[in-house]
Amino acid sequence: MQNLRPCVWALTAALLCFGVYAAAEPTKIAPEAAAPLLNSDKTVLGQPLAYPKDAANVMANIATMQPGEETEWHQHDVPMFGYILEGEVMVDYGQQGKRLYRQGDAIIEAIGTPHRGRNTGSVPTKILSVFMGAKGSPNTTLLPGYFPQ
């Protein structure tokens, strides 16, 4: 029996190692498990999507707006993907009209067009913003004193 003990220990160690390796194996995601959010070559205003010519820089953030809160007039100088995680926001594009975005909406925001957003709901609005910009270039330009015609 004592001669079998080293074999049992070796077999146990091998099985443990295999178990750890098998558990560390990454799980593969089926293609149908990835739900598309957006596929577009245009902004919400129909502008063609164009990237800055300088060195690329991607910046992402989550903005939270309280009920009734409103942004200043501003514009984005680079492409920006937005996804409404919670709540709703009404965006005023001046002469281009207003658009309401709700939880689950995905957009490519207008480029170089003044606009402002307002949380028109009764709960905080959370927006994931992903700017596809360039190093040294602003993603957003505030427009104090701007009033649409």
Q: pLDDT tens for residues 62-78?
A: 999 999 999 999 999 99
The pLDDT of residue 42 = 95
Rounded (to 5) percent helix, strand, coil in the chain? 15, 35, 45
Pairing relation of β-strands 56-65 and 125-134?
antiparallel
**CATH number corresponding to 56-142:** 2.60.120.10
Report how far apart, in Å, the C-alpha atoms of 37 and of each of 18, 83, 95, 104, 106 are: 39, 8, 28, 8, 6
Which amino acid is located at 15 in the chain? L
The pLDDT of residue 117 = 98
Under DSSP, is residue 75 helix (H, G, I), strand (E, B) or coil?
strand
Residue ranges of domains in the chain: 56-142
- Average pLDDT of 15-24? 48
* Band of residue 16 on the pLDDT scale cut at 50, 70, 90: very low
Q: Is the pLDDT of residue 23 over 60?
A: no
The pLDDT of residue 3 = 56
The pLDDT of residue 28 = 73
Under DSSP, is residue 19 helix (H, G, I), strand (E, B) or coil?
helix
3-state secondary structure 93-126: CHHHCEEEEECCCEEECCCCCCEEEECCCCCCEE
